[in-house]
Amino acid sequence: MICERCKQRPATVHYTEIINNQKKQMNICEVCAKDEQIASFNLMPQQNLHDFLAGIFGPGSEVDQLQCPQCGLTGHKFSAHGLLGCSNCYQEFEDRIEPMIRRIQGTGVHTGKVPARSLGRYRVIREVEQLKKSLRESVAREEFEKAAELRDRIRETEQKLAGEEYENDHQANGE
């Protein structure tokens, strides 16, 4: 596929945006993507995530005092560039990043789309996670009968999940 903008280079950036149920797609090369900054197809002011993150923590904020022990990224550099240095930076700067992500997404947990073929499995996994959380809470409150019921439900659900995986593996292998 050729870039829709310059019509010269291969399109390696594929961007889809849906606003008010109107879908717009763009297939462009990396050079044109940098020129465009993929900012809402010129519907909104152009600002990339790095600039946005850098703007959240102005100079002189408490984040300037932080430093990642693994890669050495300082809060000052993070504030200036809006880029994290390594996976450990997420933990080091978590107290500052998480509230910002909550404001943007409405939650600190990723809730993106799940492929349709995995949706049922995903729901079962989420159910097990929720049951385990309830189990921990019941044990903490010393509600041992409820905890035993939850433990049994967790086992049943996990066995069901394991059985589905076994069936899917055998179907995929043509058995």
Element (H, E) at 145: helix 144-172
The tens digit of pLDDT for each residue in 100-116 reads 777 777 777 766 666 77
Tokens encoding 140 = 């903490």
Q: Which sequence spans correspond to the domains of the chain?
A: 1-46, 50-105, 116-172
Helix %, strand %, coil % of the chain (to 5):
55, 10, 35
Q: How many CA atoms lie within 13 A of 144 on its CB side?
A: 0
Q: How many CB atoms lie under 10 A from the CB of residue 50?
A: 12
pTM for the whole structure: 0.35
**How far, in Å, CA of 28 to CA of 42, rounded?**
15
Q: Provide the 3-class DSSP secondary structure of residue 19.
A: strand
% the chain with pLDDT above 70:
73
Task: Give the model's pLDDT for residue 136.
Answer: 94
Query: pLDDT by residue (tens digit) across 125-142?
Result: 888 999 999 999 999 999
